[in-house]
Amino acid sequence: SSDVCSSDLPRIDPALAGLIPSNTTLMAGARLEVLRKAPIYDKALAHRSIPQVDQFTTRIGINQKDLWELLYVSNGKSGAILGHGMFSDEGEPKLQQRNDNRFGYKGFTLVGNEINAILLINQTVLAMGDTDELRAMVDAHEKSAGPPKAMADLIARIPAAAQVWGAYGGGQLASFDSKGNLANINKILSLIQTGTLYLQVSNDVSGGISGVAEGASPSDQAAEQLESGLRGMIGLGQISTSAKQPQLSKVWDGLRTSRENREVTLRINEPGDAVDSLLDLLLGRVGK
């Protein structure tokens, strides 16, 4: 049937779902607990710094293994990261830093200041980010309706097994500070009206990564520009990869674009031996 059953959604943890403000236009999730069980994790990911995860665990003061799931939520102007994990045995983590204040909002405690803070929800749920967005999360908590319908419809297109995913429902997007091959990414993003992305790490020993990014453009012309922008980025990547980097060549070869009217699709199929190079491209090289 065409009804979306809630189990078809990538599992937005019920503990986090009720904290999503109704004006949300951008969401991204990482199911870290599931990801750690994939064979590729120890080989390619465990020793890497993932800035968003590091920032969260450092500020909260917990071990990364105690963080199960992260969910980023934004309205295009302000945003915050929700985390689900084992944060505290004492009932309240020691979060206070220099210049931090404790203040209350509708019965919840925030630690920080008027610009950014940490919101203490319970022993296993915390949020960190723009104070405006954290207050909106408390407001949402009173209604507890889950993602707004437009976002829920986009998320419904993402397979439940995806460990990393994102959905963009339109409106403002913060620009990326990117250089090199990815420098065109801001122009590419500006041509997308709504979009989804997911990555699925294989559970077998070969440990490849597959995924799909889909973007709908406001017009056929914009979709054409979007597709040619993506093709150009892939082509440039292929040309600028030297013969000494066969793994990086595989990364670019694992990307395929197609277009149907205003919808542009990027398919991602990376074999296990190209995953390290893909992560170098996305997260920066690891000093080995």
The pLDDT tens digits for 216-225 are 999 999 999 9
Is residue 96's pLDDT more than 70? no
Q: Contact, 133 vs 75, CB < 8 A?
A: yes
Question: pLDDT digits over 49-70, tens only?
Answer: 888 888 888 888 888 889 999 9
**Does the CA dihedral 238-244-250-251 come out positive or negative?**
negative
Is residue 287's pLDDT more than 60? no
Place 31 in a pLDDT band, splitting at 50, 70 and 90: very high
Considering only CA atoms, which of 181, 202, 199, 156 is closest in space to residue 248? 181
pLDDT at 196: 96
How many Å is the Cα radius of gyration of the chain?
Answer: 20
pLDDT at 8: 47
**Does the CA dihedral 145-149-154-160 come out positive or negative?**
positive
Between 13 and 133, residue with greater pLDDT: 133
Is residue 7's pLDDT more than 50? no
Is residue 242's pLDDT more than 60? yes
pLDDT at 3: 40
Place 85 in a pLDDT band, splitting at 50, 70 and 90: very high
**Range 170-194 burial, b when 16+ CB lie within 10 A, else e:** beebeeeeeeeeeeeeeebbebbbb
Question: pLDDT digits over 162-184, tens only?
Answer: 999 999 998 877 666 655 555 66
Residue 110 backbone phi and psi in degrees, to 5: -115, 145
- Residue 80 one-letter amino acid: A
